[in-house]
Amino acid sequence: MAYVGTYTSPLKNMRPTQVDLPPGNGRGIHLFEVDRATGAMTPAGVYEMGTSPSCLAFNADKTRLYSGNETERVGENESGTVSAFAVEKDGTLKLLNSVPSGGKGPAHLSVHPGGKFVLVANYFGGSVAVLPVKPDGSLGEATDVKKDAGKIGPTKATNAAPGSFAFSGHDQTHAHMIEADPSGRFVIHVDLGLDQILVWKFDADKGTLTPAETPFVSLPPGDGPRHFAFHPNGRWFYSIQEEGSTVALFDFDAQTGRLAERQTISSLPPGYAGSNFCSEILVSADGKFVYAGNRLHDSIAIFAIGADGTLSFITEEWTRGDYPRSFTFDPTNSFLYCCNQRADHVAVFRVDKSTGRLAFTGHYTPVGNPSQIVFR
């Protein structure tokens, strides 16, 4: 089964909420049955929510699903929320509880490898939080909240394409993604407004964050780090920059958490001019390829990973829609599912595992303002 988080409008019986976009076309978390042979999706229900459950994450055994609800306010509380769901045998969702996310507009969340905490990045709040997971899978109040601070980068990205007006997050701090390293000893988050990748030591007993030996690395001014992905070997770390339209390779020291930059490459084809906003980045399970999303150019760039981790551009694939916010491999890594946010659909591509190339299957699945898709 697949679960798609969306941008929604407040439900009629809810108090008004503030979201980062005009009223959304989604209805909450949309459920689908997936044909594993063709990649096609069949609607299987909706868990209706009026709080824009835009980001989703499963626990390890996929019995619990967590959603980051990207609002700035719920009632009198100026914060987004995170919801915990039990996944029933038939795949339907049962709400366990919702708690404050520790800041406005949670845009990303992940489950710590130890399974006892959910990590959340609050985009509009410029903060990250650690939420404890209770024995039944529900969430407790935050054990730690860190507020980003520092000098905001310029509105013009260092590495933007010629003629670019790509400006999004250089008005304040914007925590955009948070995830632990494979060992769980460190937690990494990016702040787009600060142009920084921040590294924390994680106390897995207390659920607290303390600065690592090298607490952050800086990206070129204005480039705006958005998302990142580890290589399966745990030593190579790839960051995608939203406004600079680049992918940067770092060496990751698993003992100290230190990141050392080694390569920067454009996510756009040679000769491109104009505005673009990068979105998602994925590394294939076999460690051979990197996939980078481009919004406005509406493409997925495909890179080969060399023996030393460096990237070389192979090709690009049109996303068959408008504004690809994110994309994900299915559990078999045979298909890639792309959430075309402004086209109100999910497009399905078959993955050639030998070349890394994508081939459109012809399958479009209508979903209002899809943000993220996860699989069970």
The DSSP secondary structure of 3-19, one letter per residue, reads: EEEE-BPPPTTS---EE
Q: What count of Cα atoms within 13 Å lies in the side-chain half-sphere of residue 354?
A: 0
pLDDT tier for residue 14 given thresholds of 50, 70 and 90: low
CB 101 within 8 A of CB 79: yes
What is d(CA 313, CA 303) in angstroms, rounded to the nearest whole number? 4
pLDDT tier for residue 12 given thresholds of 50, 70 and 90: low
pLDDT in tens, 170-181: 999 999 999 999
pLDDT tier for residue 22 given thresholds of 50, 70 and 90: low
pLDDT, residue 13, reads 57
pLDDT in tens, 307-356: 999 999 999 999 999 999 999 999 999 999 999 999 999 999 999 999 99
Average predicted confidence (pLDDT) for the chain: 95
What is d(CA 314, CA 364) in angstroms, rounded to the nearest whole number? 25
C-alpha angle 32/37/38, rounded to 5°?
70
pLDDT in tens, 46-84: 999 999 999 999 999 999 999 999 988 877 778 999 999
Nearest 10 degrees: Cα torsion 127, 11, 118, 172: -10
pLDDT tier for residue 21 given thresholds of 50, 70 and 90: very low
What is d(CA 219, CA 330) in angstroms, rounded to the nearest whole number? 31
Give mean pLDDT, residues 93-113.
97
Residue 35 has pLDDT above 50, yes or no: yes
Q: Return the exposure string of 78-115: e unless at least 16 CB atoms fall within 10 Å of the residue's CB, then b.
A: ebbbbbbbebeeebebeebebbbbbbbbbbbbbbbbee
pLDDT in tens, 245-295: 999 999 999 999 999 999 999 999 999 999 999 999 999 999 999 999 999
